[in-house]
Structure 1
């Protein structure tokens, strides 16, 4: 369904939509950036680690001071497109010998005022690593709050922010044929998906965003990305995909006059209706075996858990794994997103916006807002076998994608095994798992035994001596059933009772990655 307010009714404050990117000019730009060595490591070396970290917090002056009067290509391009500062035309011409300033103007990347070249966009190197190796792209996006020295325009096209990086790190790594990126923005998810699939369709309600996506694909020499304008699933009606990724505009925003409706984060719907629409609608666009991954916010309301709300949105025909990372109270949530738009704390405008958010939450009885990840899958055959709704707050996000893929594979294998089949399996403890035992002073036996996961979601599971002994013995040699019988004998307990107690928990440890099948 269309999102409201429609794009045509929003205020366009960034100026005209970018011109359609010219492939030849984009190649010239890439050649110049490459020749200049305009990379993230070069920029970090140019202005130093401290200034680089400050820039991530919106502070430009440390980097400006570090660059001083340097006029080499990295310094000039870093000022112009890394920091969003004007540079002398002669310096810009020297840094862009193939594109020239006139070409940068034609691409909509700069303006010219006398002898000064002023940035119209940011164009920053963005690196990451995946199963195929390390890669770095140049990503163009709109000028940020620091460059604008004020709040963002409502039609702002965001660069690679924290949420974008999180979703990218969550992506499963299996190669397949086709993918859909809903709400592509500057196109970072589409670029990532293209490394794994043959064809990507990227959609957005913002034509400005789609121009950025096409520009970024051309500058980085990435083909196979088709852009389509429209809301949610409208541009792909009747089509199915093997993968769907979405970092949708999920921020819950009051629908009242005077509250900015930023296109990159606000879909124009009330509360968490946008996230509900994505979850409810994606199943019709998944091929058998297809997987959809998205980020989202969901409301906790008086007497109703946020995870329960999400559970109610998910079609019965889909596998579901929902992970909630945090829950913010209404005030903390309001402050987060009012600051995100560039409104300064302590001002009247800030207080007015906070009141608007709190009034909006109060009308619906909202007591908190959850943030997390949603993974949905259409079974290849038969009905769904996966339904996990959990809060997980730990872990290092760098390994989420491969970890999720391994957990899904383990779930699928475990789901086919009855207890006898599981007992006959040979397992091996994961290499990142450690054990912690807590003793009261003077006591020999531990009061608490924990299994700790070093990678993935960094889970910590409290176990009893029987399960701890079983996990410790999973070295890829003996089957689970043989190990349980031996442990029962050592503990002087009934083997059948111990098996009935341990096997369900072994299934859980397999699905969460504490142990794995020895033949994988």
Structure 2
């Protein structure tokens, strides 16, 4: 159990970290980009070698709190003159053995940026595999990883009154939510995780985060929220003996049931117009595609929900098993690796699983009436930028506007091309006309879309001057085609371009 964090000690430590220049950028500059990237892969020796014998505060704190390496007590006292070694110990971050300070937790700086600006947090979490020198304990509290960064970036950057972070872990989602949500409740089944959430809130000077112990929606029974965010313990884990059940990733259910349970219960806890965002895995079972199963969960929700689900990647059972066995610190060639992989493969075989998808779910309780958004898509490409939350918010706004607008209203609208959109034309050698015209998106999901000459001409003409209907009529005359037929063909595709962010209302 982590000690209850003392506000005065947290403020003192924050001041020490600021004075030391303890930022992600400063540390990366100190030990180099290659060593910094190696830390994420569990290799700390390149960074330690780069620091050499440096005894300045940044180097001492980098070794102690980022790499998880013991340091001389005198050096640590000089690095944290306000909090002191005693303060670090009272926060549960270190223990003292003679003249040596040994880390009990990590504190790593984490930069962030969204539409409202940029900044940096210090995020405390448990020691990783490199610092422990072996597999993680089952009650391990994870720091900021790739999935948590992704979800933080997905959060809508629009104002809301009350938010909920389900499965808070170290508290990164609650911190991110507080940038736009006035009050956040953070829940977890782990008292230690909630201790880290409280510590990180105090360390970063973020107020109005309340922590509650319990599973899924049990701690908030009967309550509703404008925003709900969750990086749930969605990793599919065999329910057999001798397979570690890590609290940070294993929800204790069979297969993808934890994500199904979240989807089934979230609607009752959303206010009208409220939005839930989460990450998840879903199984393709005996020919039933994973996204179709997710659609079934959503359509079966007791509270009708708008839905936008994006599958970002999929893995075969063997690749999935190897990924998560390694994630727990059991590496290929070490005792138990093959046994654990076999346990995963047996579990998948029992349910007829042929593929596991990973992606994002955005669910919204309609402010009024029936759901109007049901979008399920596979986008197996890298995200194009940091502003994905802004992109999602703009897409929802465009959708809501388009739902209320018939084709006559759309024809009367004036549109502009989004500034991140480019066009590529591919010609056969010597050919005058292109064989392929492609629109590419520099932000959002980085979509690439093949278009025909009519749609390409319309997009190119959307400069905020003339209405869509006038442009379509002019293009029809230029191409020598029927204007009514061209309008019927283009209007649904213009709606799609508005939703996906290629076009915007002027």
Pick the TM interval, shorter chain.
Answer: over 0.9
Find the counterpart in structure 1 of residue 71 from structure 2.
Answer: 87
User: Hey, what's the Cα distance between the residues in 2 that align with 1:130 and 1:290?
Assistant: 21
Find the counterpart in structure 1 of residue 396 from structure 2.
Answer: 408
Does residue 303 of structure 2 align to residue 320 of structure 1? Answer: no
1:43 is aligned, of 9, 27, 30, to: 27
Contact 1:179 1:242 in 2 (8 A): yes
Coordinate RMSD, CA, aligned: 1.1
Does residue 269 of structure 2 align to residue 285 of structure 1? Answer: yes
The aligned length equals 502
Contact 2:116 2:157 in 1 (8 A): no
1:159 is aligned, of 117, 140, 143, to: 143
Does residue 486 of structure 2 align to residue 507 of structure 1? Answer: no
User: Hey, what's the Cα distance between the residues in 1 that align with 2:390 and 2:426?
Assistant: 31
User: Hey, what's the Cα distance between the residues in 2 that align with 1:410 and 1:63?
Assistant: 46
Q: How does 1:179-218 map to 2 (within 5 A)?
A: 179-218=163-202
Deviation per CA, 1:327-367: give whole Å up to 9, x if none.
11111111111111111112341111111111100000001
Report the 3-state secondary structure (helix = DSSP H, G, I; strand = E; otherwise coil) of the residue aligned with 1:446.
coil
1:487 is aligned, of 475, 478, 486, to: 475
1:461 is aligned, of 444, 449, 453, to: 449
1:124 is aligned, of 80, 101, 108, to: 108
* Structure 1 residue 98: Cα displacement: 1.6
Find the counterpart in structure 1 of residue 4 from structure 2.
Answer: 20
Higher mean C-alpha displacement, 331-340 vs 396-405:
396-405
1:338 is aligned, of 287, 306, 325, to: 325
Deviation per CA, 1:270-305: give whole Å up to 9, x if none.
000000011111111111111100000000112201
Report the 3-state secondary structure (helix = DSSP H, G, I; strand = E; otherwise coil) of the residue aligned with 1:297.
strand
2:465 is aligned, of 466, 469, 477, to: 477
* Structure 1 residue 50: Cα displacement: 2.1
Deviation per CA, 1:154-173: give whole Å up to 9, x if none.
10000001000000010110
Does residue 423 of structure 2 align to residue 431 of structure 1? Answer: no
User: Hey, what's the Cα distance between the residues in 1 that align with 2:451 and 2:18?
Assistant: 54
Please, which runs of 5 or more residues in structure 1 have no aligned partner?
1-16
State TM-score, norm by structure 1. 0.95
Deviation per CA, 1:34-73: give whole Å up to 9, x if none.
2222122221222222211211211111111111111111
User: Hey, what's the Cα distance between the residues in 1 that align with 2:203 and 2:487?
Assistant: 59
Does residue 408 of structure 2 align to residue 420 of structure 1? Answer: yes
Contact 1:181 1:200 in 2 (8 A): yes
Please, which runs of 5 or more residues in structure 2 have no aligned partner?
none
1:135 is aligned, of 119, 131, 154, to: 119
* Structure 1 residue 309: Cα displacement: 0.3
Find the counterpart in structure 2 of residue 225 from structure 1.
Answer: 209
User: Hey, what's the Cα distance between the residues in 2 that align with 1:451 and 1:34?
Assistant: 45
User: Hey, what's the Cα distance between the residues in 2 that align with 1:101 and 1:438?
Assistant: 64
User: Hey, what's the Cα distance between the residues in 2 that align with 1:443 and 1:129?
Assistant: 45
